Structure 1
């Protein structure tokens, strides 16, 4: 599984780095506006962990707002893309989020994880580590696939199970196999609450720019959300 994810996103790194509107509408005009809306209003001076940075859009955004981000990704090619985007102004590391993180406890004020956690089967070790490296009352914001979207993918059998699914993303003439895990909403909520205090759950509405670019998909998203965002607080004792 990890090898598949790494290989897939190594191949996808060029598309992520040089965003093509054909493939990036869902990120640019659906996921990112909803995620950024959950961020603290003042990011100046905050130490932020971008957990699953892809090609570094969030890392670069955080830098532009005066934060001090550290970016992680399992894909070496995505790590290099993030380094190029941020021009050496952020620490960028190739790290497996299912393992122990290479940071001292209470290092970060904010953790952001965009469309990453569904590539992990078990969230417990990851959330335990996120809680450890996040300061008390620090903020954890993440987005994942909405289980309502993933249950319709071929291979999904039971809504209440955590299932490994296989999808295929077409980029130009290349078909890239992408594996990820679908889990029910109750597991997403309950696992989050085991390590953090849930503040807000968001099922995003696509922006007007999205509607103008892709009216058919806009109408589909208004009936069935593709993504889910959660904001939580680290209430460790």
Structure 2
């Protein structure tokens, strides 16, 4: 009997188009994560920005539209294909893995954006070291990860203080997908940032974009904000 092939974790190639289509207009991505990242980034005109784990490129595009000089990468070849379609053939978007040495020189970027990527990794040591390497001194790392309270809300019996693997099921544009995450407590995040040579400048739990309240009246009824992701601005020291 032949062995059942092992399914790759977080295989975005298998649902890239559905994921990209869903998140063009989704509350969590289009009206929460993206505006929060852009607000934290502020005036980016002329800044060299790396979008690490760029997916289909919506944040990369928004930063470019605001005058940034953008570069992006993703480990999913299909996502990179979608990003190139979105950004044009001349866009510097390539296949690379945040958990491996990055194909960029030291101090190449003013800012690095890492939106909803690090929570897929058990160990942040090497990725943060590489991000620190490609940032100029004083550069910013702007990132979003699963809020650490989410795991505890979904699994009340769990130990919040352990770094632990967990999965959740989703439907993206009608296609089912399973994503696997690593929960870590807040202090483990900030300890990792400090060890990699970053100073925490901002910790943010933002509200969604103002227009979200009209577009998602049921989900946001009676809420000014909600728990989903946690946002940071870190400075390379």
Normalising by the residue count of structure 2, what TM-score does the alignment of the two structures yield? 0.89
Is 1:102 aligned to 2:103, yes or no?
yes
Q: Secondary structure at the match of 2:128?
A: helix
| CA deviation map 1:73-131 (0-9, x unaligned) | 11111110101000123211111111111111111111001111101111111111111
Find the aligned partners of 1:48 and 1:2 in 2 and give their Cα distance. Answer: 33
Distance 1:2 1:105, change over 3 A: farther
Distance 1:155 1:102, change over 3 A: farther
Contact 2:207 2:225 (C-alpha < 8 Å) held by counterparts: no
Once the two structures are TM-superposed, the CA of residue 192 in structure 1 deviates from its matched residue by 1.4
- Name whichever structure is richer in helix by fraction: 1
Contact 2:50 2:70 (C-alpha < 8 Å) held by counterparts: yes
Contact 2:48 2:69 (C-alpha < 8 Å) held by counterparts: yes
Distance 1:158 1:222, change over 3 A: farther
Tell me what 1:4 maps to. Answer: 9
Find the aligned partners of 1:20 and 1:132 in 2 and give their Cα distance. Answer: 31
Once the two structures are TM-superposed, the CA of residue 172 in structure 1 deviates from its matched residue by 4.7
Is 1:61 aligned to 2:92, yes or no?
no
Is 1:229 aligned to 2:231, yes or no?
yes
Q: Secondary structure at the match of 2:8?
A: helix
Q: Secondary structure at the match of 1:66?
A: coil
Contact 1:31 1:204 (C-alpha < 8 Å) held by counterparts: no
Return 5+ residue gaps in structure 1 as ranges.
Answer: none
Once the two structures are TM-superposed, the CA of residue 58 in structure 1 deviates from its matched residue by 1.1
Contact 1:169 1:175 (C-alpha < 8 Å) held by counterparts: yes
Tell me what 1:198 maps to. Answer: 200
Find the aligned partners of 1:192 and 1:215 in 2 and give their Cα distance. Answer: 37
Tell me what 1:147 maps to. Answer: 148
| CA deviation map 1:183-219 (0-9, x unaligned) | 1111112211222011100011123322222234225
Report 1:1-237 matches (<5 A): 3-5=8-10, 7=11, 9-19=12-22, 24-41=26-43, 43-154=44-155, 157-194=158-195, 195-219=197-221, 222=224, 224-235=226-237
Q: Secondary structure at the match of 2:206?
A: coil
Once the two structures are TM-superposed, the CA of residue 20 in structure 1 deviates from its matched residue by 5.9
Normalising by the residue count of structure 1, what TM-score does the alignment of the two structures yield? 0.89
Q: Secondary structure at the match of 1:14?
A: helix
Equivalent residue pairs, number:
231
Distance 1:24 1:140, change over 3 A: same
